[in-house]
Amino acid sequence: MPISELNPAQQEAVKYIAGPCLVVAGAGSGKTKVITEKIIYLLNECRLRGREICAVTFTNKAAREMRTRIARLAPADQLRGILITTFHSLGLYMLRRDYVLAGLKKNFILMDANDQKTLVSSMCQEILGSDKTPDQNTISRVLASVSRAKMSGLTPDEFMEKAASDEDVFDAAVYRRYDSAMNAYSAADFDDLVLKPTRIMRDHEGARLHWQKRFKHILVDEYQDTNEVQYDFLKLLIGSRERFTFVGDDDQSIYAWRGADPRNIERLSTDYPNLKVIKLEQNYRSCGRILHVANELIARNRHIIAKTLYSSYGYGDPIVIHECPDPRQEAEYVCAELTSQQYRNRYRWRHFGILYRTNHQSREMEKSLRENRIPYRINGDISFFERAEVKDTMAYFRVLRNLADDNALLRIINVPRREIGSATVAKIGDLARSTSCSLFDAMSLPDLAAILPAHTLKAVRDFREMILEKRGEIDSGRAAEVTGSLLESIDYMSHLLGENSDEKVARIKYDNALQVKDWLLRKLKGDPSEGAEPQDFDSAVTSLCLREMLDQTGEEDEQAADQVQLMTIHAAKGLEFEFVFLIGCEENILPHKNSLESGSIEEERRLMYVGITRAKHHLVISHCLTRMQDRTQISRFIGELPQDDLKIEDRESEKKVDPDESLAFIAQLRASLKN
């Protein structure tokens, strides 16, 4: 699209390159278009090379969309070297160059969420003692606490100094052990991918100057979602040149639970006095009434930079407020409306979005959708390859393919339990690091006998011999036999039964593991129906790993399916639908009980704002009179909406309430919420 076809504010944002620039982009205001057009402007008009530009966002999906748009606008040779990526992928890119400065080995390990959970669990156990097993709530709390500390840039010692309760002291003690183990393993977790490059740039001038010279213009999407470390990361990356374009909207900051701080927008004007602020207020998504309702709601929040969205379309239909006796009848109402609207307006199923505050609200909705044979998809379902049992099975095959795969080895060294705890693994990791070898090779070194008890040493050596034996069988042509018998030979079913109190759950998980085994066997044997030739073991495992990667990045195909989309409001950020149902709008749900207790009502209001602005033309907001047999109270946010734009529907009486009754309803609601 030529720049001349952009609106005046968008054109100003694209062309401003004299200094630091903040683009305050309201919902549906074309922010991605501005970023992509600005990249083309930097290439064509400012004569920057592709490798001198870096565009950063928060999700792989957003980065892929941006890359796709850019590829349509410029030839490949002009884009050579350009980085359009996520914060964490950029951090990984930097760590691959500066790993020594981070105290890592070249082939350092990346720990995923399940690896972290296993490690933290074992360290909680060490602190509590063998007679006390940490429950899942404790483990989850510690993981979240350690993550928050890292997102705030705190070392274990600094976190301990700030500890204000017994729980904080415990969490800090786990963090200290966790950090020590990660160093011994030469491992990094998700938060480290930003934290470590930040510390490298802070402490090493040479590295800082290298990256500042490399990137002459930095663009950041969804800037309001940055945390403290990400702010420092960007500040160090930008340096004194101060050439950046940050695009964000404090009204859509809904990720405080993962460290996002909209005050980072406010900090910019202090750190960059010459900051140019440009507001994008023309919305290209929603009708005028939806935007008016959203503006009225969010106006009750404090604002860093005020803005008012206006529509490129007509005013639109009233917002429906629908009252239901209970969640079951709420689901039935939504299904009836779905069917009716699809028939009358010729909508496709994918044009409908059903949004809710918490995942448990989807249960009744799913049941009703199935009963009415309405196709649907729940956004955010756990990927098959993200399941622990699938990761365990994959890790065994990865180690058998490559004995030096430290990441996979760490996952299975004590699965099933072999009495090889985290302290033992840390000692093996220290030895591997000091001798510059893999963990697997370190397990055979004579020095290990001096640092491990005899029974632990035997467990380590037995595990190593078992892996070597199976690898030898594979090399001798018995790959299919090893693959087919692996799960039985390690007695994985007993492991699952020990980890899950419900035998049915354990058997479902075992079936998932068997599915991985069956996929690999088909690769080994070949599939004539698909014209696939038999593969050797290493090639077959590589193919399976590729399938895992594709499974993780398949959003486009899933979104293209003609299905009603169910998701939390958090997951709906960045999406849009012709028709939105915002269900369960009651006190203690939206706003959530935890937010009411902690006083974070403004973020809940922003969540409601995001939910409303996902709708293009039609919006229905529903609430229930009872939930789990308890009487509920309608959400205060419904009382904050302008009554002239609402149409109140009473499910019990099956009648439309006239305008005078609507006004009385809203007045009564507002009065009740003040009491």
CA distance linking residue 433 with residue 421, whole number of Å: 18
Catalytic residue, chosen from 115, 222, 364, 389, is: 222
> Torsion over CA of 176, 178, 180 and 182, rounded to 10 degrees?
-150
End-to-end CA distance of the chain: 54
Amino acid (1-letter code) at residue 666: I
Enter the tokens of residue 639. 């009382």
Cβ of 502: how many Cβ atoms within 10 Å? 9
Cβ neighbourhood burial of 436 (10 Å; 0-12, 13-18, 19+): exposed
CA dihedral sign of residues 653, 659, 665, 666: positive
Amino acid (1-letter code) at residue 548: E
Is there a catalytic annotation at residue 222? yes
Catalytic residue, chosen from 11, 12, 15, 32, is: 32
Contact assessment for residue 561 and residue 577, using Cβ atoms and an 8 Å cutoff: no
Q: Supply angle C-alpha 412, 418, 419, rounded to 5.
A: 120
| Beta-bridge mates of residue 356 | 568
Strand ranges in 208-351 using DSSP code E only, listed in sequence order: 217-220, 244-248, 276-280, 282-283, 310-311, 319-324
Contact assessment for residue 249 and residue 275, using Cβ atoms and an 8 Å cutoff: no
CA distance linking residue 93 with residue 116, whole number of Å: 22
Please give the backbone phi and psi of residue 317, each rounded to the nearest 5 degrees, phi first.
-75, 160
Q: Which helix (H) or strand (E) holds 669?
A: helix 659-674
Is there a catalytic annotation at residue 252? yes
CA distance linking residue 390 with residue 551, whole number of Å: 13
CA distance linking residue 198 with residue 641, whole number of Å: 43
Backbone conformation region of residue 646, classed left if phi is above 0, alpha if psi is from -120 to 50, else beta: beta
CA distance linking residue 304 with residue 251, whole number of Å: 9
CA distance linking residue 187 with residue 103, whole number of Å: 10
Q: For every residue of 160-171, which 3-state class applies, written as one string?
A: HHHCCCHHHHHH
Q: Are strands 630-631 and 626-627 parallel, antiparallel or unpaired?
A: antiparallel
| Beta-bridge mates of residue 579 | 352, 618
Catalytic residue, chosen from 614, 616, 636, 651, is: 614
Contact assessment for residue 26 and residue 281, using Cβ atoms and an 8 Å cutoff: yes
Contact assessment for residue 432 and residue 426, using Cβ atoms and an 8 Å cutoff: no
Is there a catalytic annotation at residue 112? no
Give the three-state DSSP class for 533: coil
Residue 474 vs residues 31, 415, 470, 480, 526: alpha-carbon distances, Å: 53, 21, 6, 8, 17
Contact assessment for residue 56 and residue 85, using Cβ atoms and an 8 Å cutoff: yes
Catalytic residue, chosen from 57, 245, 252, 565, is: 252
Cβ of 576: how many Cβ atoms within 10 Å? 17
Is there a catalytic annotation at residue 587? no
Compute CA 352 distance to the chain's CA centroid, rounded to the nearest angstrom: 23
CA distance linking residue 224 with residue 243, whole number of Å: 18
Would you please indicate which residues are annotated as catalytic (active-site) residues? 31-32, 221-222, 252, 614
